[in-house]
């Protein structure tokens, strides 16, 4: 079997959605200002937003209905859920102004999300505006429940494009139960020391594209959790942050699965990790058919890492999440660590069919030479520096 050829050339089986239809002439336009929004950043505009959404969603005139959040205005919005399905065929939310979350003390109860779109088909959220979670007052309370800024749940055939997402209290964008969704040309920004502020979290979703975007936060740029399948991450700049992570999977003995993930042409700058797969001891399930291809590194601490002992110290657990059919290809650049390739796999269920091809990583640590670590990993290696002897 040619291990080096196993994932090469594999493409995601998207049923492509034709977003060009959104340029049609039959477009009804609504403005939140006409539904009572004030847009001064002080008055709560949540009710106006919901009224405008309901009017748009239930619209029966026009193939496309666009809800405009105008530029030059700042809209204070409390935790709000925008529900579908909608009667209008192509609902569009055009965000050109700025949407801000309430101050921490103004939240009622302990919500886990700020803005959510649920059960909406063919939704487009686009524009030149900002979604600001104002999360700085939350970051010093790591054990407190903190809200995700934007959640897309059970949506299909949707597009998120052009916006800037700032300073979420926790994850900036969470994708759950979605199908055929494209995230493109967005910016996600939070300080490096902002705790658990993942850029994009994906779970229980299929056919998701993340492309042509900048993500720099205090945690994973993109994190793929249980049920992620046919995920394509392309042309993304990541940093600061913790890299592109598969997992963590298998916490508390759970059975979790991720498969068919393709990460291409991603630049990591000053991140904790680059291409990472992480699983807990004692878990079940698998992470398989994963490729990281065309990756460039600039001062990344853990450029290539598989860790089947995430948050553990080799306990007596007798199960593990199986990791197999993983390709790291065309990876180059620098690391601030001496160990630049780390394959820390499980003795119980080793990593199999791991391929390293055309890799060159240098250490910038003073007096250090780039090296690798490898335990219980099986596969093949070619044109890789530093060498990984266990795969030969």
Catalytic residues: 242
E-only strand ranges, 146-283: 148-153, 156-161, 164-166, 173-176, 179-184, 187-189, 200-203, 206-216, 222-224, 228-238, 244-249, 255-269, 273-279
- Provide the residue count of the chain: 392
Token match 């407190």: residue? Answer: 144
Give me the helices (H) in the chain, please.
Answer: 46-57
Sign, Cα dihedral of 338, 341, 342, 348: negative
Rounded to whole angstroms, how far apart are CA atoms 352 and 197?
32
Which H or E run contains 98? strand 98-100
- Closest CA relative to residue 131, chosen from 53, 182, 190: 190
Backbone angles phi, psi at 74, to 5 degrees: -120, 125
148 SS3 class: strand
């Amino acid at each position: 079997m040619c291990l080096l050829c196993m994932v090469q050339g594999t493409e995601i089986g998207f049923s492509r959605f034709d977003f060009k239809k959104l340029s049609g002439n039959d477009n009804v336009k609504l403005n939140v200002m006409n539904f009572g929004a004030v847009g001064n950043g002080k008055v709560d505009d949540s009710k106006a937003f919901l009224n405008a959404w309901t009017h748009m969603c239930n619209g029966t005139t026009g193939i496309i209905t666009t809800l405009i959040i105008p530029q030059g205005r700042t809209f204070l919005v409390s935790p709000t859920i925008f529900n579908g399905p909608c009667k209008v065929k192509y609902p569009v939310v055009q965000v050109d102004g700025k949407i801000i979350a309430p101050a921490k003390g103004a939240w009622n109860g302990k919500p886990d999300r700020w803005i959510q779109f649920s059960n909406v088909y063919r939704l487009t959220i686009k524009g030149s505006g900002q979604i600001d979670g104002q999360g700085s007052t939350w970051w010093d309370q790591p054990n407190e429940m903190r809200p995700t800024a934007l959640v897309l749940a059970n949506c299909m055939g949707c597009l998120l494009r052009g916006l800037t997402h700032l300073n979420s209290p926790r994850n900036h964008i969470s994708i759950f139960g979605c199908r055929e969704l494209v995230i493109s040309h967005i910016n996600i920004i939070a300080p490096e020391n902002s705790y658990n502020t993942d850029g994009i979290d994906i779970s229980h979703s299929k056919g998701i594209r993340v492309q042509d975007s900048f993500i720099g936060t205090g945690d994973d740029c993109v994190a793929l959790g249980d049920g992620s399948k046919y995920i394509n991450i392309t042309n993304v700049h990541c940093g600061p942050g913790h890299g592109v992570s598969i997992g963590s999977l298998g916490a508390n003995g759970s059975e979790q699965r991720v498969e068919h993930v393709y990460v291409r042409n991603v630049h990591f700058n000053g991140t904790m990790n680059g291409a990472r797969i992480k699983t807990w001891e004692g878990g079940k399930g698998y992470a398989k058919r994963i490729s990281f291809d065309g990756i460039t590194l600039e001062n990344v601490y853990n450029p290539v890492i598989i860790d089947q002992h995430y948050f553990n110290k080799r306990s007596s657990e007798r199960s593990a999440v199986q990791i197999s059919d993983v390709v790291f290809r065309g990876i180059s650049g620098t690391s601030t660590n001496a160990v630049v390739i780390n394959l820390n796999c499980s003795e119980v269920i080793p990593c199999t069919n791991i391929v390293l091809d055309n890799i060159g990583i240098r250490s910038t640590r003073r007096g250090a030479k780039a090296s690798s670590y490898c335990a219980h990993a099986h596969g093949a290696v070619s044109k890789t520096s530093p060498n990984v002897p266990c795969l030969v």
